[in-house]
Structure 1
């Protein structure tokens, strides 16, 4: 995929070469340069708007993906937390039984 900056640079080089090599009066050359400058400015502005839109779309997409990944992480964390609680409950039950045994023997 060709980068837009390379296209703009090519246009600039081509326009400059065409103007400099053309056998025209200075006033015509200046007018041509002004016109080319305006055209390039307009193209750059258009390209910047397009890039801004692309970045905005990527940011929105990234935000949605981040939300999705956060939900997955929260779900996995919740599942692991549930496993840890179950393990601790079993250990507490064992400790309670041991404690009852100690209470009965004393």
Structure 2
């Protein structure tokens, strides 16, 4: 049971890493787009004031997009972690319950064997006297 929980945890870690890799890819594409747009604006034949205004607008739009993506990623990771924590808590509780029942079974069996041994010992003591 413990191995199953550990394997499930490892699988979930891989899912989170994959999600992070996808987010990193998206952020790379977003950064490349922003750099390309900025270079396009800089090389466009336009007045300096217009170029600076466009650069500021593009920078603000990129900043806003990055903030949204960071918030989305944070929310997704929090959801996954919360879900997996609940699953892990449930499995640990189940494991503890199973172990408790097994311990009760072992104790009952040992008490039964002890009773049998006491009876056998008593019988042997009677025959040896």
Higher relative contact order (CA 8 A, sep 6+): 2
Question: TM-score scaled by structure 1?
Answer: 0.81
Identify unmatched segments of 5+ residues in structure 1. Answer: none
1:23-42 Cα offsets, whole Å, 9 max, x none, are 22322221111111110111
TM-score (norm 2): 0.69
Residue ranges of structure 2 left out of the alignment (5+ in a row): 1-21
RMSD: 2.0
Q: How does 1:46-57 map to 2 (within 5 A)?
A: 46-57=68-79
Structure 2 SS opposite 1:24: coil
Q: Distance in 1 between matches of 2:32 and 2:102?
A: 57
Please say which structure displays the higher CA radius of gyration: 1
**Aligned pair count?**
106
Counterpart of 1:20 in structure 2 is 42
Single out whichever of 20-29 and 48-57 deviates more from structure 2.
20-29
